Amino acid sequence: MATVNTVLLLAAWAVISALIVVLYRIARFYQITSGRRSRYQWFSVPLALLAAAAVINGVAGGSNLAGDALLLLGGISLIGLGYNLLRLMTGSRS
């Protein structure tokens, strides 16, 4: 049963990482086509933080303070970057 949980956890984090990469590519495409700075490079920060949190929590066998802190920081930075991209792409109409 532990193996099934580990495989499902890794699959979930792979999907989350793929979605962050898609956001990165959207921001990069928008910067290239519009000429406006989207700061797409910063999407690697939440990707690294969330990946480190997944590894730490996976090695620890569950939730711990360091992994939870990295999850919090990664989530906050992803929300901020996503909101910034939304405002940039919609012309602050959102």
Using pLDDT thresholds of 50, 70 and 90, give the confidence band for residue 3.
confident
**How far is it, in rounded angstroms, from Cα 82 to Cα 88?**
10
Tell me if 46 sits within 8 A of 77, measured CB to CB.
Answer: yes
- Looking at every residue in the chain, the average pLDDT score rounds to 90
Handedness of CA 19, 25, 31, 33 (dihedral sign): negative
53 CB-contact burial (10 Å; exposed 0-12 / middle 13-18 / buried 19+)? buried
Span 80-85, average pLDDT: 95
CB 46 within 8 Å of CB 78: yes
**Predicted structure pTM score:** 0.84
